[in-house]
């Protein structure tokens, strides 16, 4: 059988792929044809409204997101996998920082890439001549649409994928393949009348069911945004310094989530509730050393310390002012600006009490 031929009707290869995916540690695996995602029209409308904020790459990648064949020539099928990363929330100190759960351990891309490549090698051993490409939140793949079509879950009103057995806590990865595979049945939506995730958003970024305005999203503001955080949104961010889980936490389907036993997602103690003043003292070398293998390196030092300043402005006491004064002399203008704002907020609270 050639790489371009369809597999037989018994689903033998598909079953082997799913068994191998489970062996590699993936919690779920589904298969779908590589066609235009069904919600692409809504995605284009979302872009037209500017809700992608300054993430211009999403606009540039739109033609590829509409057609997987522009991502990989002669793409016929997509294997979609989910990796469970659920961990206990842990104790939170009101005056410490909050980091999204997925960022409290080593960069998930490394673990996902290794497993995806392992799965691709396995498929190649079973189907000589196959060509494929692996993706994990790194390319122009509308992965939640494909994951829903492949039966891994449904897109909730917070725009994230929900699975009956995993809740909200899992990573997605994809393999584009140039062979035809039997598709799995898509998952249906099981949100019902529930809207808990919408009011749970601190900044009101979920402007309607299934519609997120990235310009207000704390995950965008603390990770993707490169410049200043809008002053009107800073007080709403609380002590969140990297990402936000509030809409995910609110979902009742999380009652079925099972703690991951995967060693790749074992939580780092120093990121469950990090000391804000300690983080503010990190120089370039210390930041690079501490976050070398962490998703947090994505923000770079200036982005993280900008976020730390905002958090201190919201929850910090007078004891944080010396640290912020130190930050006012930082070589990064972005840090200096937000440190000055934080001092003003702390002083205003002190005067009001």
DSSP bridge partners of 28 = 82
Residues 6+ apart with CB under 8 A from 286: none
Note the maximum CA span of the chain.
78
Among 110, 137, 283, 284, the one annotated catalytic: 137
Residues 6+ apart with CB under 8 A from 339: 309, 324, 325, 327, 328, 330
Tokens 């492949």 sit on residue: 150
Residues 6+ apart with CB under 8 A from 325: 339, 343
Tokens 């392992």 sit on residue: 118
Distance CA 274, CA 290 (A): 12
What secondary structure does DSSP assign to 199-238, as a single string?
HH-TT--EEETTEE-GGG-HHIIIII--SPPPTTTGGGGT
Residues 6+ apart with CB under 8 A from 274: 96, 97, 99, 241
What secondary structure does DSSP assign to 75-93, as a single string?
--EEEEEEEE---------
Name the DSSP letter for residue 134: E
User: Residue 241: helix, strand or coil by DSSP?
Assistant: strand
What is the signed CA dihedral for 104, 59, 149, 123, rounded to 10 degrees?
-70
Is 110 one of the catalytic residues?
A: no
Catalytic residues: 137
């Amino acid at each position: 059988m050639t790489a371009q031929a369809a597999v037989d009707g018994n689903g033998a290869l598909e079953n082997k792929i799913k068994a191998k995916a489970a062996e590699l540690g993936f919690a779920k695996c589904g298969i779908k044809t590589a066609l235009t995602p069904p919600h692409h029209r809504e995605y284009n409308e979302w872009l037209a409204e500017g809700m992608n904020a300054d993430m211009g790459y999403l606009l540039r990648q739109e033609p590829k997101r509409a057609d997987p064949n522009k991502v990989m020539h002669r793409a016929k099928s997509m294997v979609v996998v989910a990796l469970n990363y659920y961990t206990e929330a842990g104790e939170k100190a009101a005056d410490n920082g909050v980091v999204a759960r997925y960022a409290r351990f080593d960069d998930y891309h490394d673990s996902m890439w290794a497993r995806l490549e392992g799965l691709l090698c396995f498929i190649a051993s079973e189907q000589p001549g196959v060509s494929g490409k692996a993706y994990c939140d790194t390319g122009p793949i509308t992965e939640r649409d494909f994951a829903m079509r492949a039966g891994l879950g449904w897109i909730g009103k917070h725009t994230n994928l929900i699975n009956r057995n995993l809740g909200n806590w899992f990573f997605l990865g994809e393999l584009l393949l140039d062979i035809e595979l039997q598709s799995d049945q898509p998952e249906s939506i099981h949100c019902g009348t529930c809207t808990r995730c919408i009011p749970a958003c601190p900044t009101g970024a979920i402007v309607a069911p299934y519609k997120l305005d990235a310009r207000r999203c704390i995950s965008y503001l603390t990770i993707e945004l490169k410049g200043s955080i809008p002053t009107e949104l800073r007080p709403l961010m609380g002590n969140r310094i990297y990402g936000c889980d509030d809409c995910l936490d609110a979902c009742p389907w999380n009652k079925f989530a099972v703690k991951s036993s995967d060693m790749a997602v074992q939580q780092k103690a120093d990121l469950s509730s990090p000391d804000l003043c300690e983080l503010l003292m990190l120089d370039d070398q210390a930041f690079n050393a501490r976050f070398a293998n962490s998703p947090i390196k994505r923000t770079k030092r200036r982005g993280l310390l900008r976020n730390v300043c905002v958090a201190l402005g919201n929850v910090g006491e007078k004891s944080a002012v010396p640290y912020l004064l130190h930050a006012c002399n930082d070589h990064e203008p972005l840090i200096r600006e937000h440190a000055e704002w934080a001092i003003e907020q702390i002083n205003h609270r002190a005067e009001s009490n």
